[in-house]
Amino acid sequence: MRSAILAGIAFAAALGGAVQADVRIVDGDTLDLNGERYRINGIDAPEAGQTCRDGSGRAWACGDVATEALYQLTRRGRVTCEALAPDGYGRTIARCTASGRDLAREMVSLGMAWAFLKFSDEYAPQMAAAKAQKLGVWRGSAQPPWEFRAARWAKAEQAAPEGCPIKGNISANGKIYHPPWSPWYSRTRINESKGERWFCDEGEALEAGWRAPYWK
């Protein structure tokens, strides 16, 4: 599995480019630009910590590689995000570009994100092409991220206090919240005497002053 992960990250890193210091990558379809959080419109990328299978059935860290791919794309030049609408979770749905290149189109073309057909078919042609070429998540089997999130949420919801499964942790890095699909979720313990708490949704966590963990 380690060799598959390294190969995937090397593939993403080959995109290269110039660094822009005011961009922070949350995951393969979410970024912070100048302190504002944007959810890239029209796509859904593997969640951080999500794994997929290659053509031989071997697991590889598609969530890590998707995050790295978006990071490398934002290094190509000046990043801009055109706000479209709020998403109800403290983020802004936006069309984001790096040096004028549509980040959503790039991610789908690399096979590192699905065209989110539930909301938009704009990137359906790029997804069909990536699938035909067996790029990224299409080189084997992969659970769509919306199904991955739903399964993790349903399981965690049963065990969480009052059915609110998001963990609000306080550490040296600040107030960080972990939804059930976070790779740190299972090893995060909530100590309410320290001010840590549970949240019912991400919007509630953001409003209370917690943030999602950064990957890049």
Summarize pLDDT for 19-36 with one digit per residue, the tens: 345 899 999 999 999 888
Question: What pLDDT is recorded for position 184?
Answer: 85
Residue 53 is inside which H or E element, if any?
Answer: strand 52-53
Question: What pLDDT is recorded for position 80?
Answer: 94
Average pLDDT rounded to a whole number, residues 125-144: 97
Per-residue pLDDT at 109 exceeds 80:
yes
Average pLDDT rounded to a whole number, residues 135-154: 96
Cα distances (angstroms) measured from residue 55 to each of 27, 33, 147: 24, 36, 21
- DSSP E strands in 79-149: the ranges are 79-86, 92-98, 101-102, 114-115
Question: What pLDDT is recorded for position 88?
Answer: 76
Residue 147, token pair as written in the block: 């199904």
Summarize pLDDT for 34-65 with one digit per residue, the tens: 888 899 999 999 998 899 999 999 999 999 99
Question: What pLDDT is recorded for position 19?
Answer: 37
Per-residue pLDDT at 2 exceeds 50:
no
Higher pLDDT, 15 or 211: 211
> Using CA atoms, how far apart are residues 164 and 144, in angstroms rounded to an integer?
23
Question: What pLDDT is recorded for position 91?
Answer: 85
> Using CA atoms, how far apart are residues 79 and 22, in angstroms rounded to an integer?
9
Question: What pLDDT is recorded for position 12?
Answer: 42
